[in-house]
Amino acid sequence: MNETTKEPGEGEGASNSAAAEGGEAEETGAAPDKEAMTSEDRVALAEREAEEFRGKWMRAAADYQNLKRRSEQELQERSRYANASLIINILPIVDDFERAFSTLDARLAGLTWTEGIVNIYRKFRQALESAGVREIEAEGIEFDPNVHEAIQYSEGDDGKVISVVQKGYKLGDRVIRPAVVVVGRGGGEGTADENENPSAPGGK
């Protein structure tokens, strides 16, 4: 009787081959088999893929535009404030001009050399304004610690700026020098109750 003998590993090789083929079938089964798809299915798949690519492209384009806009804004900010220190050093010169004009003898007004100095001052102011420098509003308004620096308190409307010792300036939205001011603290002639009742604190 003849017995059929198997080579060592022959059965195992066949099993491994079958398992490998099965594994490949499982892996390839995860992706659509375009050859087995109908024309309509292939068109639908292509449309989905195109929509995905379009969405990714639009997001990338939006990210690029946002980055470009932020870069431009940062560049503008750096450009605007690059000369801030230079402008701060020029402001005392403007102060000197204004103090000189406030004490100018009336007999000198209108003279040629006086008008020449006035024109120089005006050009200084125009150059500052063209660079984005603006004077801070102060006198007669409520004291604002963000833009005002109180150097003294005196009788006057409580909490309001009653006089300006030194003008303040902004460069764009940034305060480069606060306005130095005198702030009212009320008082003066006293309240009506104090005037009517001498025994009241501060009354006569």
Residue 87: how many CB atoms within 10 A of its CB?
19
Tokens standing for residue 131 = 């660079």
pLDDT of residue 200: 38
Task: Give the pair of three-digit tokens for residue 24.
Answer: 């490949």
Residue-wise pLDDT for 120-166, tens only, equals 999 989 999 998 899 999 999 999 999 999 999 999 899 999 999 99
What is the per-residue pLDDT for 8? 52
How many Å apart are CA 70 and CA 60, to the nearest integer?
15
- How confident is the model at residue 204, as a pLDDT? 40
For residue 163, what pLDDT is reported? 95
168: its two tokens: 């303040």
H/E run at residue 169:
strand 169-171
Per-residue model confidence (pLDDT) at position 173 = 87
Q: Say what the pLDDT of residue 93 is.
A: 92
Distance separating alpha carbons of residues 40 and 46, to the nearest angstrom: 10
Identity of residue 8: P
Instruction: Give me the residues of the chain with pLDDT under 50, please.
Output: 14, 18-20, 24-29, 189-204
Tokens coding 199: 């025994």
